Amino acid sequence: MAPETKDPAHGTRLLLFVLGSLLFSNFVPRVLFKLCGLGNPGTISGIFRDFVTLHTWTDSWLPMMQSVNYYLQHPTLPIYYAPLYDTLIYSLASIVPLWALKKLGMSDPAMLRFLAITSWLALVGVATVALAMGYRYMKARGVRMHWQTVLAVVLAVVFCYPLLKGYSLGNAQTYLSFEFALLLYFWSEGREAAGGIVGALLAFVKPQYGLLLIWMAVRRRWNATFAFLATAAVLLLVSIAIFGWHNNLDYLHVLSSLSRKAQSHYGNQSMFGTLNRMIGNGENLGYTPLLYTPYIRWVYVVTVSTALLLMAAVLLFPWGKLRASTADLAAMGIVSVAASPMAWEHHYGIVAGVFAWVWFAYGCWQERRPWLLGVAALFTLNAWLAFNRLADFHGWNILQSYMYFAALLLVGVLMTLARRVTRGEANPVA
pLDDT in tens, 256-281: 877 677 899 999 999 999 999 999 99
Amino acid 4: pLDDT: 53
Q: How far is CA 155 from CA 17, 127, 152, 182, in A?
A: 11, 9, 5, 19
Amino acid 249: pLDDT: 94
Mean pLDDT is lowest, of 25-29, 291-295, 392-396, 426-430, for 426-430
pTM value > 0.75: yes
Amino acid 259: pLDDT: 67
What would the DSSP string read from start to end of 404-418? HHHHHHHHHHHHHHH
Amino acid 198: pLDDT: 98
Amino acid 2: pLDDT: 46
d(CA 326, CA 362): 12
* Percent helix / strand / coil, the chain, rounded to 5: 70, 0, 30
pLDDT in tens, 171-219: 999 999 999 999 999 999 999 999 999 999 999 999 999 999 999 999 9
Amino acid 246: pLDDT: 93
* pLDDT band of 9, cuts 50, 70, 90: low
387 alpha-carbon distance from chain centroid = 21
340 alpha-carbon distance from chain centroid = 12
Amino acid 321: pLDDT: 94
Mean pLDDT is lowest, of 83-87, 110-114, 305-309, for 83-87
Q: How far is CA 297 from CA 276, 301, 304, 354, in A?
A: 11, 6, 11, 34
- Indicate whether 288 pLDDT > 90: no
Amino acid 368: pLDDT: 77
Query: What is the average pLDDT score of the chain?
Result: 92
Task: Give 260's DSSP letter.
Answer: T
* pLDDT band of 254, cuts 50, 70, 90: confident
d(CA 5, CA 143): 7
Please, are residues 382 and 373 in contact by the beta-carbon 8 Å criterion? no
Q: Is 57 exposed, middle or buried (0-12, 13-18, 19+ CB in 10 A)?
A: middle
pLDDT in tens, 110-150: 999 999 999 999 999 999 999 999 999 988 888 888 899 99
d(CA 106, CA 159): 32
Please, are residues 170 and 59 in contact by the beta-carbon 8 Å criterion? yes
Amino acid 429: pLDDT: 65
Amino acid 131: pLDDT: 97
- Indicate whether 1 pLDDT > 50: no
* pLDDT band of 291, cuts 50, 70, 90: confident
pLDDT in tens, 55-70: 999 999 999 999 999 9
In 3D, which of 171, 245, 255 has the Cα closest to residue 208?
A: 255
Q: How many helices (H) and strands (E) does the chain have?
A: 19, 0
Residue 217 or residue 9, greater confidence: 217
The pLDDT > 70 percentage for the chain reads 96
Amino acid at 176: L
